[in-house]
Chains A and B, each alone.
Chain A
Amino acid sequence: MIYFLGKYLHPHYEIFSLLRLVDYISARAIGAALTAIILTLALTPLVIRHLHRRGLVDQRRNTGVASAFDKAGTPAMGGAVVVGCVLVSCLLWCNMSNRFLLAVLAGMIWFGALGLADDIAKTRARSGDGGMSEARKLLLQAVFAAGLVIFLASPWTPLPAGQAGAFYVPFHKTPLFTSLWMYLPIVFFFVVAVGNAVNITDGMDGLAIVPSVFAIGVLGLFGYFLGNAIWARYLNYPFYPGAGELAVFASAFAGAGIGFLWFNAYPAQIFMGDTGSMAIGGSIAVLSVMLKQEVLFLILGGLFVAEAATSQIQDKIGIRWLGRRIFMRAPLHHAMQHKGLAETKVVIRLWIVSGILALAALATLKLR
């Protein structure tokens, strides 16, 4: 809104000349971040109290870890607050006609809604295991992945000609292949995997939100560089006009994330719930797809990958098939806790790991 207002007002009226700042992505990014932080800090306490009064509190799975037990009764819809604040901030500061942005917002809302439905089902069933069925979740995620690829291939695609089916890998300048049919399954697998990886990581206070902020922040920077003709040429990337808008989205998200961390820090007063983790996963996934940085997630989201991999290997290969544990505990953060690390220590160590991974991912910008 501020973007459109500024665009409309400052060329005509001298008095609004300050509003020419809206032409600068950096200025809007800062504005978006601040707006999101202030909104979350102001709204979350109200939401927490409301959720407590309505009895909409977390229904934990019995993970066998003693400390998890003491957390039953914490409200779990923090994710909805984050999503709401990002949306408001974007409405204020973003160019809402930008199709890069619209795709990412669609991803965030679709996955957030999926998570919300799951959260509500769990609260209704009064059990952490009573959520939506695995198959239905997968189906709805697949529907979105298909929609996304159709959008990329359609005349309304924000990508330059010939880029829709291109598949890039880090450290390599040209696409590995350009084929929509080969690209579609990759997008599907990627979207599903990322959405669930964040969900699995979200098992300790503050554990999911900080690496998510790092990841979205780095992707926002990628968007800024790819959407800038000079930077894109200098870094040898294809120029994606309009991708810079994603930087504004990313900073709004970072702001909301930090505001959320204020309350989610150990010991947490609110959890993000499936709403939050799915919305974050969806946003990261669509951001990566729009910027053609899917494989970068192996580095940037290395923590999420490790969490999801340990959890899946333990469950599907070990417990279901081999009849033994492969890791002493899974996912990764429970394994660390089982070895005798306190929750706070596990979380901070994993923050450090994810920070290092984010820097490494940033380095691939130039290393090609």
Chain B
Amino acid sequence: MHEIRRILLTGGGTAGHVNPALAIGSALDRGDARFLFVGVRGRVEEQVVPHEGMAIKYVRASGFPGTLSPALLPFLADLSIGILQSAWILCRFRPDVIVGTGGYVSAPIVMAAALLRKLRLSRARVFIHEQNAVPGKLNQLMGRFADRVLVTFPETLSFFPANGALVGYPLRRSIAALGREEALQKIDFAIPEQRKVVLAFGGSQGSRTINRALVDALRHLLPFRDRLFIIHGTGLMKNRQYDAAADTEKRLRSLYNEEERAQIESFYLHRPYFYNIENLYSASDLVIARAGAGSLNEISAMGLPALIIPKSNLPGNHQVMNARSMERAGGAEILYEQIAPASGRLEEWLDGKVLAEAIVSLALDDERLERLRSRSRDFLNQDALGRIARIIRSEETEPAGVPLPTPGPLSEERLPTNRELLALLEKAERSGPGRYSPKTVVGRPQDLEFFKNRASALLIHPSWPERNLGVKLLGLLHAREKAPALVTLLKEKNPASFLKRCFGGDFEQVGFIRRNVVIALVRIDVIDAEIEAALLEALWDRYYEVRAEAARAAAHFGGRLQSRSRFVRVLLQNLGDRNLDASTAAAEALGVIGGERDALPDLLKLWDARFWKMRAAALTGILRMVERGEVSDRAALAAEIPKFILTSTDFRPHFEIKSIYRRLMESLSGTGGEGLQP
């Protein structure tokens, strides 16, 4: 049991970090404690903290760039200055306890405290609270300097095996759930009776994906207008890329005519921001939200069923991980945003129809709502603040007592990374080429969905090897619905940098990406007019591997191609391709899709091609044609074929002893020779 009189709180940048710090502070206060908040100038804390009547001091700090890059230098400079400033503050204030709630803001204080403690100049104990399921890089590092790391989600414990403690999320004010009637009275607009109330918002700033999808969804929700009421907080964001309120208004006007808008107004209300959101919570039956730790925990505190739309491509993919944690606890359902083509390039996007279906199926199903509602309440550790206070006061060494949400069957800490997943899938495909299916590698359908979405998020990654990884994964995961996104990559022709073009580069979507898109489309095995057009274009690609793979793709889709004759025409031209891989692939493909009239004569002309591989490819093509029964005059063809020059500069060695060995091993393992198989 420690006497705690002087408490230093740090953390900030966004309200999501400041509020937990203030919450923990108030929980530790027994009336006689002195507080100091340390933050960064110009961020949220500058307004919020003085407003609370708390003293605040500022240090230098900036965000960790994450990788080795030139941005590392200013970061290190800021950090060094920040640590010196922090050391000075610590020596003056002499806190008993330091509580950091993350964000880069708390880094200098935590490091300075660790330093001073090494020098025996400070006795302050350091606690860090991590709000998200996946801690940032800097917070992972900070965790080593802290006495305890208090985490919100059970999945996070694996990042801090030595000193982690599961406590839950410190909600600032206990959001008291009002009775529905009482709440309805406090709201400044009327909600008609007998409606299911859906509250949708993307945080205080708003989310473009949710806003746009919800407006699109209204058309599909119209038929249910007398059973639903939708409250939409569009958010306060207003910058050059996106003005939440104006964009939503514009979209409403462009999508719906006067009459439809009147109908919509009867069940849909949008405003940039709602004050006293707890009243709305109390009146709602379903919440649609982003997966920030604060939002999820508020929803859970209110015991509300939620439809979560996590934002992808955040550090550590933490919103998706937060959402999965709540989903697996049974308190929410997830709708992933898609990476899909929008006006020629890929963007995050959510189909309005999909959203509408999800809303209707959830909001109008009382049984499901009830199930989610009870689990949602269990998800949050309702006594988070009490437990945090007990741990900091050393009244409780090991978190126990309150039942913890147990992780599901597929533990998050063992979730394969994208690269590991690729290795797994490739291995499975190699071992059984004909029988391969991603389902054999990824068991749970929800996980397959998750992996597909995680992979498709890579398609808009700034570095090409990552995008390439995404392309490969989508192909191996047989992500049918992502085919349009892949085609967009293939058709997008933004030139690469000048320097790269000097060395033989061509487009931003580099040769490997385009090649792998074609391979992925074959693996996904879906063809439509759009894909056909892209494949035709790929036969003309600047990079030879794309041309070769496109020819193989043409052979793969074969009879399913609508514009067969155009493929044949381009492939005939590719027979003269200067690149051997591209020309041989064209010859073999012609055997599958070419006819006796249009392709056979050209293949026969290759009898004296310089490279034997070209002659062999022509023969392969002709063989396929004959096997398809495409050749009517077999005798005439038989007279032509002997012209082919059959000498070759290559052969395959045959090692007698190795083939005997193989036969022996096969017969041994065939007759019940157990343990001989690898």
Closest to A267 in B: B653
0/1 interface trace, chain B 634-659, chain A, CB 8 Å (1 if under): 00000000000000111111010010
Q: Which 6 A-B pairs have the closest CB atoms?
A: A323-B510, A324-B511, A322-B505, A342-B650, A340-B613, A323-B512
- Cβ contact within 8 Å between B543 and A324: yes
Q: Does A345 contact B (CB under 8 A)?
A: yes
- Cβ contact within 8 Å between A323 and B511: yes
Q: Does B581 contact A (CB under 8 A)?
A: yes
A70 CA to B653 CA, complexed, in Å: 9
Residues of A within 8 A of B500 (CB): 321-322
A127 CA to B465 CA, complexed, in Å: 25
- Cβ contact within 8 Å between A322 and B511: yes
- Cβ contact within 8 Å between B511 and A328: no
Q: Does A136 contact B (CB under 8 A)?
A: no
Residues of B within 8 A of A328 (CB): 544, 579-581
A140 to chain B, nearest CB (A): 25
- Within the complex, which residue of B512, B580, B651 is in contact with A339, where a contact is CB–CB below 8 Å? B580
- Cβ contact within 8 Å between A323 and B464: yes
Q: Does A42 contact B (CB under 8 A)?
A: no
- Cβ contact within 8 Å between B511 and A325: yes
Chain A, interface residues (CB within 8 Å), range: 20 to 34
- Cβ contact within 8 Å between B545 and A342: no
Q: Does B504 contact A (CB under 8 A)?
A: yes
Residues of B within 8 A of A324 (CB): 504-506, 510-512, 543, 545
Residues of B within 8 A of A325 (CB): 511, 545
Q: Does A174 contact B (CB under 8 A)?
A: no
Given contact pairs A323-B512, A325-B545, A345-B650, enumerate 20 new A-B contacts (beta carbons under 8 Å): A66-B652, A67-B653, A70-B658, A267-B653, A321-B500, A322-B496, A322-B500, A322-B503, A323-B465, A323-B468, A323-B510, A324-B506, A324-B512, A324-B543, A325-B511, A328-B580, A339-B580, A341-B649, A341-B650, A345-B649
- Cβ contact within 8 Å between A339 and B611: yes
B490 to chain A, nearest CB (A): 14
Q: Does A317 contact B (CB under 8 A)?
A: yes
0/1 interface trace, chain A 305-323, chain B, CB 8 Å (1 if under): 0000000000001110111
Residues of A within 8 A of B504 (CB): 317-318, 322, 324, 326
Q: How many residues of B contact A (CB 8 A)?
A: 30
A70 CA to B654 CA, complexed, in Å: 9
- Cβ contact within 8 Å between A342 and B651: yes
Q: Does B273 contact A (CB under 8 A)?
A: no
Q: Select the residue from B500, B544, B651, B653 with max chain A CB neighbours within 10 A.
A: B653
Q: Does B513 contact A (CB under 8 A)?
A: yes
A339 CA to B504 CA, complexed, in Å: 21
Q: Select the residue from B468, B545, B650, B655 with max chain A CB neighbours within 10 A.
A: B650
- Cβ contact within 8 Å between B655 and A340: no
- Cβ contact within 8 Å between A340 and B611: yes
Residues of A within 8 A of B256 (CB): none
B498 to chain A, nearest CB (A): 13
B162 to chain A, nearest CB (A): 29
0/1 interface trace, chain B 480-505, chain A, CB 8 Å (1 if under): 00000000000000001000100111
Residues of A within 8 A of B658 (CB): 70
Instruction: Known contacts A67-B653, A321-B500, A328-B579; decide if A339 and B511 are in contact (CB<8 Å).
Output: no
Residues of B within 8 A of A323 (CB): 464-465, 468, 505, 510-513
Residues of A within 8 A of B512 (CB): 319, 323-324
Q: Does B612 contact A (CB under 8 A)?
A: yes
B3 to chain A, nearest CB (A): 52
0/1 interface trace, chain B 498-532, chain A, CB 8 Å (1 if under): 00100111100011110000000000000000000
- Cβ contact within 8 Å between A340 and B612: yes
Q: Select the residue from A323, A326, A337, A342 with max chain B CB neighbours within 10 A.
A: A323
Closest to B658 in A: A70
- Cβ contact within 8 Å between B613 and A339: yes
0/1 interface trace, chain B 129-145, chain A, CB 8 Å (1 if under): 00000000000000000
Residues of B within 8 A of A66 (CB): 652
A324 CA to B464 CA, complexed, in Å: 11
A339 CA to B655 CA, complexed, in Å: 23
Residues of A within 8 A of B513 (CB): 323
A318 CA to B505 CA, complexed, in Å: 8
Residues of B within 8 A of A326 (CB): 504
- Cβ contact within 8 Å between B649 and A340: yes
0/1 interface trace, chain B 569-587, chain A, CB 8 Å (1 if under): 0000000000111000000
A339 CA to B612 CA, complexed, in Å: 9
A323 CA to B497 CA, complexed, in Å: 13
A189 CA to B650 CA, complexed, in Å: 38
Closest to A328 in B: B581
Kindly identify, within residues 319 to 368 of chain A, every residue whose CB is under 8 Å from any CB belonging to chain B.
319, 321-326, 328, 337, 339-342, 345
Closest to B512 in A: A323
- Cβ contact within 8 Å between B653 and A322: no
B299 to chain A, nearest CB (A): 43
Residues of B within 8 A of A340 (CB): 580, 611-613, 648-650
**27 A–B contacts from the bound complex (CB under 8 Å):** A66-B652, A67-B653, A70-B653, A70-B658, A267-B653, A317-B503, A317-B504, A318-B504, A319-B512, A321-B500, A322-B496, A322-B500, A322-B503, A323-B468, A323-B511, A324-B504, A324-B505, A324-B512, A326-B504, A328-B579, A337-B650, A339-B580, A340-B612, A340-B613, A340-B650, A341-B649, A342-B651
B8 to chain A, nearest CB (A): 43
Residues of B within 8 A of A319 (CB): 512
0/1 interface trace, chain A 55-68, chain B, CB 8 Å (1 if under): 00000000000110
Kindly identify, within residues 457 to 478 of chain B, every residue whose CB is under 8 Å from any CB belonging to chain A.
464-465, 468
Kindly identify, within residues 583 to 609 of chain B, every residue whose CB is under 8 Å from any CB belonging to chain A.
none
B646 to chain A, nearest CB (A): 13
Q: Select the residue from B505, B506, B658 with max chain A CB neighbours within 10 A.
A: B505
A274 to chain B, nearest CB (A): 25
Residues of A within 8 A of B544 (CB): 328
Residues of B within 8 A of A321 (CB): 500, 503, 505
A323 CA to B467 CA, complexed, in Å: 11
Residues of B within 8 A of A318 (CB): 504
0/1 interface trace, chain A 206-230, chain B, CB 8 Å (1 if under): 0000000000000000000000000
Closest to A326 in B: B504
Residues of B within 8 A of A317 (CB): 503-504
Closest to B546 in A: A324
Residues of B within 8 A of A339 (CB): 580, 611, 613
Closest to B581 in A: A328
A345 to chain B, nearest CB (A): 6
Closest to A317 in B: B503
A221 to chain B, nearest CB (A): 35
Residues of A within 8 A of B649 (CB): 340-342, 345
A321 CA to B612 CA, complexed, in Å: 33
B7 to chain A, nearest CB (A): 47
Residues of B within 8 A of A322 (CB): 496, 500, 503-505, 510-511
A70 CA to B611 CA, complexed, in Å: 25
Residues of A within 8 A of B653 (CB): 67, 70, 267
Closest to A266 in B: B653
A318 CA to B543 CA, complexed, in Å: 12
Closest to A324 in B: B511
A327 CA to B612 CA, complexed, in Å: 20
A345 CA to B613 CA, complexed, in Å: 16
B550 to chain A, nearest CB (A): 15
A23 CA to B385 CA, complexed, in Å: 94
Closest to A337 in B: B650
A180 to chain B, nearest CB (A): 35
A325 CA to B515 CA, complexed, in Å: 11
Closest to A341 in B: B649
A327 CA to B590 CA, complexed, in Å: 26
A267 CA to B613 CA, complexed, in Å: 23
A318 CA to B612 CA, complexed, in Å: 28
A365 to chain B, nearest CB (A): 36
A321 to chain B, nearest CB (A): 7
Residues of B within 8 A of A337 (CB): 650
